[in-house]
Amino acid sequence: MSDGELAIPFRQRAGSAMKDAFLQEALTIATTKFIDLRREAFEDFPEGEALRDRARAIKEATLQRLDHYLETLIANIERLGGHVHYAKTSEEARAIIVDIARRTGARMAVKSKSMATEEIHLNEALEHAGITPVETDLGEYIIQLAHERPSHIIAPAIHKTKGQVADLFGREFKRRVEADPEVLTKIARDELREKFLQADLGITGANFAVADTGTVVLVTNEGNGRMVTSLPRVHVAVMGVEKVVPSLTDLMVFLAILAKSATGQKLSVYTTLVRGPRRAAELEGPDEFHLVLLDNGRIAQLGGPLREALSCLRCGACLNVCPVYRQIGGHAYGYTYPGPIGILLTAMLEGSRAVKDLAHASSLCGACADACPVRIDIPRMLIELRREVDEKKIAPWVERVAFTLLARLLTRPALYRLAASAGRVLQRPFAREGTISRLPFFLNDWTRTRDLPAVAARTFQERWAAEQGRTR
């Protein structure tokens, strides 16, 4: 999202999203489908729960010795003839990739879906350097044509209906296009085929990298990932440092739960294992292979409050089940990573000031933690973030004063009882049959989209005291 769009308050962005009928339709259909498919996949997979625990344990053990596993990975990739680069920031990552493109004389880069390259805003940097980036994942291709950003971690164009995509293709290719997924896919395929052959540079993300063997792993559902890694002369993979896994045995654990959590598949259609550039006897593959290891705030969180978020597999399951994401979609969050995990990743990448409003965009219902294949306790970290926002005085003063007063009220029983009695009197003009449907002035925000329960005629404590008196 541009700085201008970010200047619009989160509440307003969310409000606009909730009024967008197309978005609501697209989100409901897609997220409901993902939820059902995920549930069915795990119902048919009794080992699933144990594997989720195992995956979490592997992640924790890897983070404990991240330096060791990264060193092993680097040594093995270099042994295979590849090059490894370390980028501390997005700027460094962009500079490394642009430099590789310039040195190799690349004019066009084909890309497979990668949130890491979205995170570093790579396409803009490539365009600025005179290199044309072409997204080849269908969803990414759609949003590139629409000049938008992904709104979901695994389904970038989830916010679009097939009718909207047909209109977009119709405008772009100047012809009438039927709103049929097969027709739309064929058009994209025909348009992209030539690009694979023309491109000098292939850019991908990486779902995992296996330290023991120097293998970079891509998990996709479209054949484009394989074309991107094998047809251009140069392949660059961009990966967060936390994606390293110790061994192929560990990799199997993650592969067994990743696709089930993301799309309900037993396994994604393509699991591509890349081991350096093409070797002498091989017919396919790039002349050069580069892995860019992206830090961008991750290493600092190894000892920080958001450490658990470093275990994220980017499966998107927490987005699909989140009642907030399901209402507002990904763009309203305003940053690269949407949904509950996106709030944590945004805090990691941009600092807690960036999430002063987003930290509250959660009902803390716990559905995200239940769905997460590595059992990341997202609600706990969101509460931590809220505390930090408060402690650093990032929240507006009105909000801080209101919550300070509320905290005093809730921690002083006598004051609480007094407030309950006062509330009973003050609510009289607004309470009907135990419910308050509308409050006046600025308090109306609390009742605009839901009813509040009225203060009870007698509090639990009052009833309890009366009961005790009766039984004595």
Residues that bind ligand SF4 (CB under 6 A): 153, 261, 312-318, 341, 371-374, 376
Residues 6+ apart with CB under 8 A from 406: none
The values of phi and psi at residue 243, to 5°, are: -85, 0
Return the number of the residue (291 or 312) whose C-beta is nearest ligand SF4. Answer: 312
CA distance 281 to 278: 8
Least separation in angstroms between CB 242 and ligand SF4 = 11
Least separation in angstroms between CB 41 and ligand SF4 = 14
Residues 6+ apart with CB under 8 A from 294: 87, 90, 93, 116, 119, 120, 238, 239, 240, 241
Least separation in angstroms between CB 373 and ligand SF4 = 5
Return the number of the residue (56 or 386) whose C-beta is nearest ligand SF4. Answer: 56
Least separation in angstroms between CB 372 and ligand SF4 = 3
Burial class of residue 290 (count of CB atoms within 10 Å of its CB; 0-12, 13-18, 19+)? buried
DSSP track, 347-394? HHHH-GGGGTTGGGS----SHHHHH-TT---HHHHHHHHHHHHHHTT-
Partner residues linked to 271 by β-bridges: 219
Least separation in angstroms between CB 360 and ligand SF4 = 19
- Written as six digits, the tokens of 62 are 């890897």
Return the number of the residue (142 or 374) whose C-beta is nearest ligand SF4. Answer: 374
Cα–Cα distances (Å) from 29 to 280, 325, 357, in that order, read 49, 13, 27
Partner residues linked to 293 by β-bridges: 86, 239
Coil, strand or helix at 431: strand
Least separation in angstroms between CB 112 and ligand SF4 = 19
Q: Give the other-Cβ count within 10 Å of 443's Cβ.
A: 12
Return the number of the residue (76 or 261) whose C-beta is nearest ligand SF4. Answer: 261
Return the number of the residue (60 or 399) whose C-beta is nearest ligand SF4. Answer: 60
Least separation in angstroms between CB 153 and ligand SF4 = 6
The side-by-side arrangement of strands in the sheet containing 431-432 is 431-432, 435-436, 452-453
CB 351 within 8 A of CB 360: no
Return the number of the residue (114 or 229) whose C-beta is nearest ligand SF4. Answer: 114
DSSP track, 212-261? TTTEEEEEESSTHHHHHHHSSSEEEEEEEGGGEES-HHHHHHHHHHHHHH
Least separation in angstroms between CB 369 and ligand SF4 = 8
- Determine the straight-line distance between the first and last CA of the chain, rounded to whole angstroms: 66
Return the number of the residue (66 or 108) whose C-beta is nearest ligand SF4. Answer: 66
Least separation in angstroms between CB 320 and ligand SF4 = 9
How many degrees, rounded to 5, is the angle at CA 44 between CA 40 and CA 50?
Answer: 110
Return the number of the residue (38 or 195) whose C-beta is nearest ligand SF4. Answer: 38
Cα–Cα distances (Å) from 264 to 58, 220, 330, 466, in that order, read 22, 13, 21, 54
Least separation in angstroms between CB 466 and ligand SF4 = 47
Return the number of the residue (82 or 373) whose C-beta is nearest ligand SF4. Answer: 373
Return the number of the residue (207 or 229) whose C-beta is nearest ligand SF4. Answer: 207
Residues 6+ apart with CB under 8 A from 173: 187, 191
Least separation in angstroms between CB 367 and ligand SF4 = 10
Return the number of the residue (116 or 313) whose C-beta is nearest ligand SF4. Answer: 313
